[in-house]
């Protein structure tokens, strides 16, 4: 699967010790942990004092998540981990790609609200047409639902797919780097 999400966690307490005891975890792959308690245990093994100086954690780095739509400093590592686990994006490449595409179009906060409201069913009103642009989608939709040759005869070749693609963009379809996303 390509939907690997991993995080490096740091501690404000250690950070504020002026690097005398600066701690940073290794890359923690979310797939390796069932719940936050497993992550906390890994941090303890690395020397974090979670009931003391290292109680307040922060995200040092994260990969596999959209980085243009969220300030990771404002979210706790635990919140991020639990959100990802609840969303189902680790188990489904499609959900992972939909999340990435959705966060290109909307904000991470909006995606987080969907997950908090609908959990693993957060993508129920979102469709990703992988690898397509609006023109491709317009062509496919018209030819799937209409037999232009039968309806228009020789005039079918004059159908303006480019204009139809433009109109799709007004109706909730948006191009992303993953394909066209439709938000209903």
> Tens digit of pLDDT per residue, the chain (184 long)?
457 899 988 887 766 665 555 566 789 999 999 999 999 999 988 888 888 777 888 888 888 888 766 677 778 899 999 999 999 999 999 999 999 999 999 988 999 999 999 999 999 999 999 999 999 999 898 888 877 777 767 777 777 889 989 999 999 999 999 999 999 8
Pairwise CA distance, residues 26 & 43, whole Å: 9
Q: What is the pTM for the complete model shown?
A: 0.81
CB environment 66-75: b (16+ within 10 A), e (fewer): beebbebeeb
Pairwise CA distance, residues 3 & 100, whole Å: 10
Asked if 80 contacts 72 with a C-beta cutoff of 8 angstroms, the reply is yes
Asked if 178 contacts 100 with a C-beta cutoff of 8 angstroms, the reply is yes
Q: Using alpha carbons, select from 63, 84, 64 the residue that is nearest to residue 8.
A: 63
Q: What is the pLDDT of residue 16?
A: 61
Q: What is the pLDDT of residue 143?
A: 84
Q: What is the pLDDT of residue 155?
A: 73
Pairwise CA distance, residues 12 & 35, whole Å: 22
Pairwise CA distance, residues 148 & 49, whole Å: 69
Q: What is the pLDDT of residue 49?
A: 81
- Residue 12 CA: distances (Å) to CA of 17, 36, 82, 155, 163: 9, 19, 21, 68, 54
């Amino acid at each position: 699967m390509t939907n690997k999400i991993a995080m490096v966690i740091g501690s404000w307490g250690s950070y504020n010790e002026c690097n005398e005891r600066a701690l940073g975890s290794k890359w923690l792959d979310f797939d390796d942990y069932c719940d936050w308690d497993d992550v906390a245990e890994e941090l303890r093994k690395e020397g974090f004092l979670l009931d003391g100086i290292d109680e307040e954690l922060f995200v040092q780095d994260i990969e596999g998540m959209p980085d243009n739509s969220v300030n990771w400093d404002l979210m706790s590592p635990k919140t991020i981990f639990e959100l990802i686990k609840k969303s189902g994006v680790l188990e489904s490449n499609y959900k992972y790609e939909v999340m990435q595409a959705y966060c290109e179009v909307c904000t991470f906060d909006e995606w987080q609200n969907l997950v908090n409201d609908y959990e693993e069913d957060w993508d129920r009103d979102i469709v990703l047409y992988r690898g397509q642009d609006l023109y491709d989608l317009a062509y496919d939709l018209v030819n799937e639902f209409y037999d232009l040759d039968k309806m228009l005869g020789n005039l079918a070749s004059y159908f303006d797919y480019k204009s139809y693609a433009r109109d799709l963009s007004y109706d909730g379809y948006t191009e992303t780097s993953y394909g066209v996303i439709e938000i209903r």
